Chain A
């Protein structure tokens, strides 16, 4: 019996080891050359045909690592010999590719996306050692596969919310979509979808993000040493890259949850040449609204949807065209009389081309539009209030690779902006309202840039860049003149100047250097230091805590100077256990000029002279960020802790404008301690559990200093801003993902059960002070998620 078992064991092990004989590909035209053979190649996704940028190529024998460039190509210089090439890319199956190099030649590699039935999950960082070796600082890419492992919110994975679990990134509260990156405001982030800026990426006032996870490939956040190709915003760039459809076969994804559903279809229009990906997502939350007993809710209506269309044409190895259309729409009508709606629309067309082995090009044109409206149908003085932004622009990015370790990129971009801050249109039968329009604003932003990345020997790597931003504020416009040496107010206006169509009213130019230096202690650890300067010519004039349809976007003009952000950062990076663990410590200091603050009780809506309501402030932010990530294994995830401060100061020559006596005070999103833990555990091939825990210091609020009576109301007297804090925030979310292996397609899907706020903490979104009849004036707490909130969703793939 034993003997039989042993035999069986041997037999099985034989099976295991009995590899099929590996066929080694002979590469190159043999002209008898022995050294310096140039083997180049390109890596593409086997299904979509998309180039895989930043994949790692390792020559096992020589331990040489290469990263594929923007076109997915790489080049190796080898001696005449046999080699084993290994190709690695996050979310894809690693390929071992033995070759016999005999001469200059080319290979073409197709990689398959890793199926998530594997026990081991690899999470982001396209190249496992990239964090150590590159000169990038504060750049984080989350692949969609990673984001999908986080506990979903009401059945949806949320791109923007996921970012807030990273160090140095936070959100004001549970119903706010804006990100605060290293002490910057929500308007200091440029959110772009295939290169087109998106102004309001929210559904339902921030409960959801308006990007459909099924059409997104990956998301990259740059929070320090932002590459010089990006400009125009002070704190960060959130670059969302859509997926390409398959060029070989048709497929679809469907997901249904208790409040929304989505569908995406992709496939070849022209086989192996042109693919299409269409996605649509909508809500049916109305069913729930109408089932409510609350009459206000019963009569409320909300709709949202977003849609994407992506046409991708990798017409050759060297040229690829991508067109993307994106639209999101929301409306919400309160009880019966007021409807708020907003919509984003963008078109972009991108052309990527490999002009030569060393030179590649990326050109992009886009148009983006953001509209937001308030409709009053109360029956008295009905009106529509419409606002919007329209941008169109173009970008050119060229990159030249002198050698494997020396790369230069350069280019330019251009953007024409038109802002409509508000137009009031009477719609009622009685003519009790005057039509009114705040003057449109026109601006032009352009930039030229240059960047070089190179290595100095084994230890040092350097990246430096320069971006020259040019901005013009243009007519037609009538601009008020104010008396000199007096605060800008209605009372100090002395006249008006009229500017013609296209006439320059104000202009600002600035040189924004960026640079970083890396010193490697070993293959697994390095230290980096960086600096960057950013200019921002558009400001979000909002006195609320989130991006809302009542916000006003404002271009820099003669009164409102551009925001200038200088950031200094230093980081230490260390990977352990063959890159299974990634750790980092980063410290930063930021100096922000010309942040906008509001005068007390500023009146912003339909305000033709908004300069009278604003004061310029200085800002500074600093912090230290600790980060530990486990990339591989049954348990993956990360822990991040940030200590940071974000402060403001308003000092003007005029006493009445000074806030808090000219002292530094915390900004609305100053949350010194932030801690998050994200974990995903694969229990078995078809069951995984994920958890997110977040803790942060409460955000600053203003308490009343005293109460006083006026006209029968007990009122609060507020004096110094933001001197107290909300109670600390903490929340635990859990999700279980269960993969069904049933009969037939419809039963072969993913069930996800999640609970947000597992222990039901009433984290206050705000504290406010009310005097209600019959009780003393007191503080009230609003908790947006006050109880555990379960959700369920089912997703299938065809």
Chain B
């Protein structure tokens, strides 16, 4: 909220925000875990990486941790092995048949190739209230220094919060698919620089993963037991997504109080604006520990959650505000992640 206060200072054209060189000591390469298992169908993924030095330039790459043995164990002693995805090293996936069971607690255990063992604290899978209704609307975001507003589509969920328990919500987007319209007739040959219209194809279906950079979380302190509406997602309009039809599943996860606290701190850090109202930087502690050396810092969080989701088809023509249409002067199949045939379950009329 206070991010916008800075504009007031910018108003008198006196304030400014610019990059600043700092020398940061070389940081330790800290093991980081990002994993979520839910009650929805698998596969579920746990990603292992090693952090790097924080720098004003791109110093040090965050590297995947490969070759680890990763298991999820429930309170009854059932063990599920997660195997590494060889196409995307560092990602460890459960079998597609695995889904977490509501009411049970799960522990993530990891053994690295050097023999070190790490474990999470147990995470209990909580029941998740259903999404009663999902609506969307266009939203405009003024951008400093730009004449045109940025915009996008925000999602609002209606939920009936259960009164008897303290609920913590986390909303995520599934991979999305949309109708991509391009202009093959405007194609220009790159070598001759002369027009070379193509006959095909102007309409494709593009799949993408988006909407992960903001965190939509809530706890029910202010609406326990009520029917409420909450903003649960936002997808930026890049001039292509909402030209025709956009499909996404909004996933609603019920997480633990500790996971909520972790995500709140992550969210807080991503929203820092440098203003006088910023909270001081916080040490974001996760739920993973080293069993060999209790003093070793392990970052990230292993979330076990109940999940429900709702599919939505957004008809771009119905939006109040859209960006100017972006023009891709080529065969739409040339765009990464884009195919000519619709997905088998594509059904905007549903």
Interface residues of A (CB under 8 A from B): 154, 173, 175-176, 204-207, 288-289, 292-297, 300, 302, 332, 334-335, 338, 380-381, 424, 430-434, 436, 543-546, 548, 550, 598, 600-603, 606, 668, 702-719, 721, 724, 757, 762, 764-771, 773, 776-787, 789
Is A717 in contact with B7, judged by CB distance below 8 angstroms? no
Is B269 in contact with A716, judged by CB distance below 8 angstroms? yes
Give complex CA distance A602, B49 in Å. Answer: 27
Interface residues of B (CB under 8 A from A): 1-2, 4-22, 24-25, 27-30, 32, 34, 49, 51-58, 60, 62, 142, 144, 147, 149, 156, 212-213, 215, 221-231, 261, 264-266, 268-270, 272-285, 297, 299-301
Given contacts A381-B223, A603-B264, 20 further A-B contacts (CB under 8 A): A205-B276, A297-B10, A380-B230, A431-B226, A544-B277, A546-B276, A601-B279, A703-B24, A703-B54, A705-B27, A707-B52, A711-B34, A715-B266, A716-B269, A717-B54, A717-B283, A769-B272, A782-B16, A784-B9, A789-B14
Is A204 in contact with B8, judged by CB distance below 8 angstroms? yes
B58: chain A residues at CB < 8 Å are 776
| Contact for B284 among A300, A601, A769, A782, CB less than 8 A | A601
Give complex CA distance A601, B260 in Å. Answer: 12
B221: chain A residues at CB < 8 Å are 436, 606
A764: chain B residues at CB < 8 Å are 20
B4: chain A residues at CB < 8 Å are 296, 300, 334-335
Is A334 in contact with B5, judged by CB distance below 8 angstroms? yes
Is A711 in contact with B20, judged by CB distance below 8 angstroms? no
Looking across the interface, which residue of chain B has its beta carbon closest to that of A766? Answer: B274
Distance (whole angstroms) from the CB of A547 to the closest CB of chain B: 10
| Contact for A718 among B32, B229, B281, CB less than 8 A | B281
Is B300 in contact with A708, judged by CB distance below 8 angstroms? yes
| Contact for A762 among B16, B24, B230, CB less than 8 A | B16
A784: chain B residues at CB < 8 Å are 9, 14-15
Give complex CA distance A778, B54 in Å. Answer: 8
Is A705 in contact with B226, judged by CB distance below 8 angstroms? no
B147: chain A residues at CB < 8 Å are 293
User: Provided the pairs A424-B222, A548-B277 are in contact, do residues A601 and B17 lie with their beta carbons within 8 angstroms?
Assistant: no
A717: chain B residues at CB < 8 Å are 27, 30, 51, 54, 283-284, 297, 299
Distance (whole angstroms) from the CB of A755 to the closest CB of chain B: 12
| Contact for B18 among A293, A296, A712, A780, CB less than 8 A | A780
Is B277 in contact with A713, judged by CB distance below 8 angstroms? no
A548: chain B residues at CB < 8 Å are 276-277
Is B285 in contact with A703, judged by CB distance below 8 angstroms? no
How many A-B pairs have beta carbons closer than 8 Å: the answer is 263
Is A600 in contact with B264, judged by CB distance below 8 angstroms? no
Q: Could you show 20 A-B contacts with beta carbons less than 8 Å apart?
A: A154-B12, A205-B8, A292-B11, A338-B1, A424-B222, A431-B226, A545-B276, A546-B276, A548-B277, A601-B283, A705-B54, A708-B300, A710-B32, A718-B281, A724-B22, A779-B20, A781-B274, A784-B14, A785-B15, A787-B13
Give complex CA distance A598, B283 in Å. Answer: 12
Give complex CA distance A292, B13 in Å. Answer: 10
User: Provided the pairs A380-B229, A706-B28, A710-B300 are in contact, do residues A768 and B272 lie with their beta carbons within 8 angstroms?
Assistant: yes
Distance (whole angstroms) from the CB of A768 to the closest CB of chain B: 4
Distance (whole angstroms) from the CB of A170 to the closest CB of chain B: 15
Is B229 in contact with A766, judged by CB distance below 8 angstroms? no
Give complex CA distance A502, B112 in Å. Answer: 61
| Contact for A550 among B49, B229, B277, CB less than 8 A | B277
User: Provided the pairs A711-B34, A717-B51 are in contact, do residues A380 and B13 lie with their beta carbons within 8 angstroms?
Assistant: no
A779: chain B residues at CB < 8 Å are 19-22, 56
3 tightest Cβ-Cβ pairs between the two chains A and B: A706-B27, A432-B228, A782-B274
Give complex CA distance A292, B145 in Å. Answer: 11
| Contact for A709 among B24, B34, B272, B297, CB less than 8 A | B34
Looking across the interface, which residue of chain B has its beta carbon closest to that of A289? Answer: B11
Is A713 in contact with B6, judged by CB distance below 8 angstroms? no
B49: chain A residues at CB < 8 Å are 708-709
Give complex CA distance A610, B336 in Å. Answer: 51
A705: chain B residues at CB < 8 Å are 24-25, 27-28, 54
B231: chain A residues at CB < 8 Å are 380
A606: chain B residues at CB < 8 Å are 221-222
Distance (whole angstroms) from the CB of B33 to the closest CB of chain A: 9
Give complex CA distance A703, B55 in Å. Answer: 10
A712: chain B residues at CB < 8 Å are 212-213
A780: chain B residues at CB < 8 Å are 17-20, 274
Give complex CA distance A300, B4 in Å. Answer: 9
B21: chain A residues at CB < 8 Å are 779
| Contact for A288 among B7, B11, B276, CB less than 8 A | B11
Is B212 in contact with A786, judged by CB distance below 8 angstroms? no
Give complex CA distance A520, B318 in Å. Answer: 86
B273: chain A residues at CB < 8 Å are 768, 782
| Contact for A381 among B53, B229, B261, B301, CB less than 8 A | B229
| Contact for B8 among A332, A707, A708, CB less than 8 A | A332
Looking across the interface, which residue of chain A has its beta carbon closest to that of B228? Answer: A432
Is B276 in contact with A176, judged by CB distance below 8 angstroms? yes
B2: chain A residues at CB < 8 Å are 550
User: Provided the pairs A300-B8, A601-B284, A782-B17 are in contact, do residues A706 and B269 lie with their beta carbons within 8 angstroms?
Assistant: no
Looking across the interface, which residue of chain A has its beta carbon closest to that of B27? Answer: A706
B223: chain A residues at CB < 8 Å are 381, 432-434
Is B15 in contact with A786, judged by CB distance below 8 angstroms? yes
Looking across the interface, which residue of chain A has its beta carbon closest to that of B60? Answer: A707
Give complex CA distance A762, B14 in Å. Answer: 9
Give complex CA distance A704, B4 in Å. Answer: 25
Give complex CA distance A204, B18 in Å. Answer: 23
Is B5 in contact with A713, judged by CB distance below 8 angstroms? no
Looking across the interface, which residue of chain A has its beta carbon closest to that of B144? Answer: A294
Give complex CA distance A776, B51 in Å. Answer: 14
Distance (whole angstroms) from the CB of B36 to the closest CB of chain A: 9
Is A297 in contact with B19, judged by CB distance below 8 angstroms? no
A173: chain B residues at CB < 8 Å are 276
B142: chain A residues at CB < 8 Å are 294-296, 335
B225: chain A residues at CB < 8 Å are 434
| Contact for A432 among B12, B60, B226, B277, CB less than 8 A | B226
Distance (whole angstroms) from the CB of A618 to the closest CB of chain B: 19
Q: Among B4, B56, B58, B283, find the residue whose CB has the most chain A CB atoms closer than 10 A.
A: B283
B228: chain A residues at CB < 8 Å are 381, 430, 432-433
